[in-house]
Structure 1
Amino acid sequence: MVTALLAPTTRPAPTAAARAAELEARLGDPGDPGNPLGFAALLRADEQARRFDAGEDALDGFGGSAEFVPVELGGRLDSVPGLVEVMRPVFRRDVALGMGYGMTSYMAASDVWTEGTPEQQARLAKVLLAGGRAAIAQPETTHSNDYVRSQVTARRVADGLLLSGGKPAINNLDRAEALVLFCRTDPEPGSRSLSALLFDPRELPLGRARTLPRHLAVGLRGCRFAGLEFDDCPLPDGALLGPPGSGIEAALRSFHLSRTVMSALAVGAVDTVLRTAAGFDQSHRPNGWGAARASAARTDTAVAGAFVNVLLYDSFAAVALRALHLLPEQTSVYSAALKYLMPRVLIETMYELSTVLGSGIYAREGSLGIFQKHLRDVPVLSLGHAGTVACQATVIPQLPWLARRSWFAEEPAPAGLFRLRDPLPPLRTERLSLACDRDSVSAELLAGVAEEAAGRGRVLAVLRELVALLAEQFRELREQVLELEEHPAAREVAGFALVDRYALLLAGASVLGVWRHAQGGDDPFLADPSWAAAALHKVARRLTPKVPALPPECEARILQEVRIRFSARHSYDLWNTPVSG
């Protein structure tokens, strides 16, 4: 729980939407070759594997680090969805800038806001509000990627702790003024074997801590990953973040935040990839979109399908983000399922869009160069504790509890979970459960079956069919999960496939909820059944071969919206906000 130690500013801060718009304007048109914050400049930095300094300076001028500090501590962080809304303009432009400038600091800080003492919170808030950086060395899990696997141990001595071991890849280590590090404090396995530490890595004694050479990856070349090795390195007891042995609980709780936030921010990069493909398509038709070309039908399908994928995934992301505030006890499943779907939906979408560019995908400069950069950067976000297998392993043991106690018995989620602009209560991190036996989001599928949508037409008719089909798939999933309880030996192997089905159904339920609660709202496209039918159609096709065909007017309406937003310079996510360029 964050303790209010620093007085907030007396003048109310602008809303997240206003701050996002201000940041978008500061960054300017990314396609302008003369813009020092544009694609040309950031691609030069990426080619040289260096930080995009001009971008970091612009974010400093905006006061970007205040976005990671709660308002109670003098910052601007008042909601997790608000943080994502403000940072999406950065991720639309450069994932490495977003990670290097701030999201690494946020991931470290979220542990401190959750577990730290008032003094630790105040100290880190001071660092961040002054423009400093924090870093995090996260714990390895059973299913961690080798990219982050390692171990640091700490043994107690009379005047504190002695650290040994190492971490091979820590982002921002070279400039961090605060490091959150998870280490093993008990050699025996168990829930009390890990502890978290908070200290300034610049103050480590010489000869007891050694920085390893920079680790350069294919993606996020603008980030500086370096390793750190300890040799009986002393730290005082005051470095402990939370009680000794509380590291596992702290990490699992913070995973709810980091998995959800990073998954939602990835949408920004795919937004740019879609915009790049749409612009390429328009420019390579003799008379723009007014004239067809030989491959027009295939290209139209690819572009429309990519837009639907963005809306499908962003619906789940928006619901998972808002659930952190509204349904914190249920987010252990939502955060892991959302992160699991990122490679399946977003990364696959980017590769599908590469067919629109053809050989243009190999361009490393200009507006097309950003396409290839995002292709390299976004997959890196799925590594480590948030990797595919780690996320599946998080959900598998919770499936039997959900099947027995919640599915087909739970009340639907509150309407505010699906309404993007509804106010949210404060984040209560102490209510983020390590596991849960409730799921209100999937209940939206059953509510959709019971409620007849107003209006007529072929698209609405197919939408109703798809909702009923997904509800039946949900019923079959419950039966399969319950059957597995009688065959424990097959549970883990079969469980991975069941998590896949469950994640898709959660995404479908989120789409249905966003569409249903957009009726009568201020965005006529979100209230249109075309995108919702197309999104549920994609979900259903991954679950069963028996899927009703979409009416042709469905793709036509979606393609029309793609072109409207491109021409009007609006984002392709649910927010549909103005973008620069």
Structure 2
Amino acid sequence: MTQLESESPTVTPIALAESLEKWFGDPGTESNSLNFSSALELDERNELPAAGIERLRGFGFNRFFVPERLGGNLRAAEDILMLTRVIARRDMNVAVSESTQVWMMLAWIGGTPEQQAKHAASVLQGGVVPCLAYSEPEHGADLAANTFRATPDGGQYVLSGEKWPINRGRTSTHVVLLGTTGDGTTPAKRRQSMFLVDRSTVLSGEVTGVPRVPTYGLRGCDISGVAFDETRVDGFARLGAEGEGLELALRGLLVTRTFCTGLSLGTGDTMLRTVGDFLSDRVLYDGPAAEIPYVNESLANAYLSLLVAECESLVAMRGLHLYTEQFSIWGNLAKVQVARLVDFQAKALARTLGARYFMRAHEHVGTFQKMYRDSAVVSVFDGSEPVCMDSIALQLPALAKAYGHDRDEDWRPLYDLRAELPVFEPHRVSVFGRGRDATFASLPHLLDRLAALEPSGGLDAGRLAALHTRGEGLREELEALLARVQDARRTPAGQDPADTATTSTKTTAPALIRIAEELSALHAKVAALGIWLFNRDHLGEFFADGAWLEAALNRGKVHQYETGDLDPAAARTLAAEMHRQRTEGEYFSLLTVRMAEPGASEEDGTDRPSASPTAA
């Protein structure tokens, strides 16, 4: 029995995160199982962080991937977001190695009641380590071209082929894979089926690991592969109907891409915290280096990027409860934009560190370098950025057609962090969202709500007027982008269609990809506006006065910024709040999330909550 099984299921995502913080203790304390020093040492030796993984399992992390109806603690998507932030800020090797638990979600999406009950029981007993085996060496992201065979044979299947590169390919206990069950006469989209294989229960044949791959980041992770040689499994291993594999795979990826945002938020926090600590303690030109105007603005901009990324993540998590069927666009938008916000922030902070960024001395700055390498993977896995952008681009005509035809509804549950939500039901995810996106659909209501505001407290008339202008600019930008969709689909006048001929079946116009990129940045701005409008009365003065929001809306592409773009007063305000949270041991967040106390040892396992209601 884990420490979580007997605890009360009535805590918020924030309390849950703070509980895991205490469970781990201060990552700066070397005696703790999961600490920065050992994370660096193990990373240098390409070793899996076994002690940190074992500590996380002791918390009962696996329980948050099993729905409550099946005996687990999965009720709120935000629980997974917050727990992932806690782990990723310490070591991405641990976060990525253990978050493979999310792939059991495919049993809840496509499994029968009998399959769900059996797999839930296995996960809750502990020891289940799944891996996702979709990609093949010769085909990459082109899943429809896979050649791995799953030959039906008398109610069983014979599996043959290799999957690579796979996280936990060698060290997994269960394999979620796509195998070809159809033949040449079967439509490509219906040729593959999905299987969840318990490696300990195969009937015959072999399942072997493919050697690890040296990687730029995540050096402690088991990035390898898995091979099946005439491996016979019972028909119970198949999830969903024959030929439904690709659809199930895409449905699962829409959920996991959304959850990837927690990894970016966790690594982004540590990178900014590490640089902020170093520059605040370093004396240059007769004062703290952090007070140099260029450095101050750099830190302020990095902090602002994290706040916007958090808004996009929180709205997406709430959307998973309320608008689950719309994530064919939304999940891609959230993953891409949050990763871009943190990746750009990381590059800017590296420049701010200067020569120290290039040195590999065994000191705290090394943690920044490790996080820099590790965080880059978020834009690559569960569908790389180009794959996600292509998916958005293909749905742009439907988005343009649907915009403006949404019914008027109450947007409070989506944006008000105190509003209760229904239970998260992953099986409702659909690959056909018909162009609907609740965030964009809510924009007219958000602008009406903004227009009704009066100056108050720190929100003076000047800032309110600026926010009105920027808000209307969001509407104009969205309508202009959607108007460009039809033009981007046409062959330019005077151009011979033969000039665009290609042997590739992937023919998405680059102009549509460009629109998708601009829409992802706009999506994050609308999310930030919505979060601000519905939470001004309870998140404190810094949040309410809107200086951070004005600065975010002033950015062109919200993840990018140039030196000198940020208003000096806004830079001072943002940097001051960042330093306050840094020195008071809080997450870099619009919410108040307390970190483990400096020097705190890992907790002994008493008085920890286990699950969450739906309000923050």
Q: TM-score when scaled to structure 2?
A: 0.85
> 2:589 pairs with 573, 576, 579, which one?
573
Matched, 1:185 2:181: yes
Matching residue's letter, 2:372: L
> 1:462 pairs with 451, 466, 471, which one?
466
In structure 2, the partner of 1:233 is 231
In structure 1, the partner of 2:413 is 416
Matching residue's letter, 1:167: K
Q: 1:43 to 1:509 in 2, by over 3 A?
A: same
CA contact 1:325–1:424 (8 Å) conserved in 2: yes
> 2:532 pairs with 506, 515, 539, which one?
515
Larger mean CA deviation between 145-154 and 273-282 belongs to: 145-154
Q: Cα distance, 1:83 vs. partner?
A: 1.4
Cα deviation digits, residues 322-353 of structure 1 (max 9, x gap): 10101112221111112222443211111111
Matching residue's letter, 2:591: W
Q: Cα distance, 1:286 vs. partner?
A: 5.9
Give me the identity figure in percent.
28
Q: Cα distance, 1:279 vs. partner?
A: 0.6
CA contact 1:410–1:439 (8 Å) conserved in 2: no
In structure 2, the partner of 1:111 is 106
In structure 2, the partner of 1:272 is 270
**Correspondence 1:63-78 to 2 at 5 A:** 63-78=60-75
What SS is found at the alignment partner of 1:229? strand
> 2: CA distance between counterparts of 1:398 and 1:121?
32
Q: Cα distance, 1:185 vs. partner?
A: 1.6
Larger mean CA deviation between 523-532 and 275-284 belongs to: 523-532
In structure 2, the partner of 1:136 is 131
Matched, 1:122 2:138: no
Q: 1:10 to 1:526 in 2, by over 3 A?
A: closer
CA contact 1:410–1:440 (8 Å) conserved in 2: no
In structure 1, the partner of 2:159 is 163
> 2: CA distance between counterparts of 1:238 and 1:478?
45
> 2: CA distance between counterparts of 1:153 and 1:13?
46
Q: 1:170 to 1:135 in 2, by over 3 A?
A: farther
Larger mean CA deviation between 294-303 and 397-406 belongs to: 294-303
What SS is found at the alignment partner of 2:129? strand
> 2: CA distance between counterparts of 1:540 and 1:389?
17
Q: Cα distance, 1:408 vs. partner?
A: 7.1
> 1:336 pairs with 322, 332, 336, which one?
332
What SS is found at the alignment partner of 1:191? helix
Q: 1:523 to 1:86 in 2, by over 3 A?
A: farther
> 1: CA distance between counterparts of 2:250 and 2:593?
33
What SS is found at the alignment partner of 1:164? strand
In structure 2, the partner of 1:5 is none
Larger mean CA deviation between 421-430 and 8-17 belongs to: 8-17
Q: 1:183 to 1:407 in 2, by over 3 A?
A: farther
> 2: CA distance between counterparts of 1:429 and 1:470?
31
What SS is found at the alignment partner of 1:222? coil
Greater relative contact order structure (CA < 8 Å, 6+ sep): 2
Matching residue's letter, 1:515: W
Cα deviation digits, residues 463-488 of structure 1 (max 9, x gap): 22222222211121121013345549
Q: Cα distance, 1:421 vs. partner?
A: 3.5
**Correspondence 1:496-515 to 2 at 5 A:** 496-515=513-532
Matched, 1:530 2:544: no
Larger mean CA deviation between 142-151 and 18-27 belongs to: 142-151
In structure 1, the partner of 2:347 is 351
Matching residue's letter, 1:511: A
In structure 2, the partner of 1:492 is 509
In structure 1, the partner of 2:476 is 472
Matching residue's letter, 1:56: I
* Aligned residue pairs, count: 568
Matching residue's letter, 2:549: A
Q: 1:37 to 1:9 in 2, by over 3 A?
A: closer
CA contact 1:166–1:228 (8 Å) conserved in 2: yes
> 1: CA distance between counterparts of 2:521 and 2:202?
46
In structure 2, the partner of 1:93 is 90
Larger mean CA deviation between 570-579 and 143-152 belongs to: 143-152
Q: Cα distance, 1:132 vs. partner?
A: 1.1
**Correspondence 1:183-262 to 2 at 5 A:** 183-187=179-183, 188-204=186-202, 208-262=206-260
In structure 2, the partner of 1:18 is 15
> 2: CA distance between counterparts of 1:519 and 1:294?
29
Q: Cα distance, 1:297 vs. partner?
A: 1.1
> 2: CA distance between counterparts of 1:80 and 1:189?
35
Matching residue's letter, 1:73: L
What SS is found at the alignment partner of 1:386? coil
Larger mean CA deviation between 202-211 and 244-253 belongs to: 202-211
Q: 1:439 to 1:33 in 2, by over 3 A?
A: same
Q: TM-score when scaled to structure 1?
A: 0.90
Q: 1:104 to 1:322 in 2, by over 3 A?
A: same
Matched, 1:483 2:500: no
CA contact 2:84–2:95 (8 Å) conserved in 1: yes
In structure 2, the partner of 1:3 is none
Q: Gaps spanning 5+ residues in structure 1: where?
A: 1-7
Q: Cα distance, 1:32 vs. partner?
A: 2.8
> 1:559 pairs with 567, 575, 578, which one?
575
Q: Cα distance, 1:193 vs. partner?
A: 1.6
CA contact 2:344–2:560 (8 Å) conserved in 1: no
Q: Gaps spanning 5+ residues in structure 2: where?
A: 501-507, 599-616
Cα deviation digits, residues 464-521 of structure 1 (max 9, x gap): 2222222211121121013345549796221100101111111110011011112212
> 1: CA distance between counterparts of 2:171 and 2:302?
38
Q: 1:143 to 1:403 in 2, by over 3 A?
A: farther
Q: Cα distance, 1:230 vs. partner?
A: 2.3
Cα deviation digits, residues 193-216 of structure 1 (max 9, x gap): 221111212344675433222223
> 2: CA distance between counterparts of 1:38 and 1:53?
12
Q: Cα distance, 1:293 vs. partner?
A: 5.0
Matching residue's letter, 2:251: R
Larger mean CA deviation between 84-93 and 483-492 belongs to: 483-492
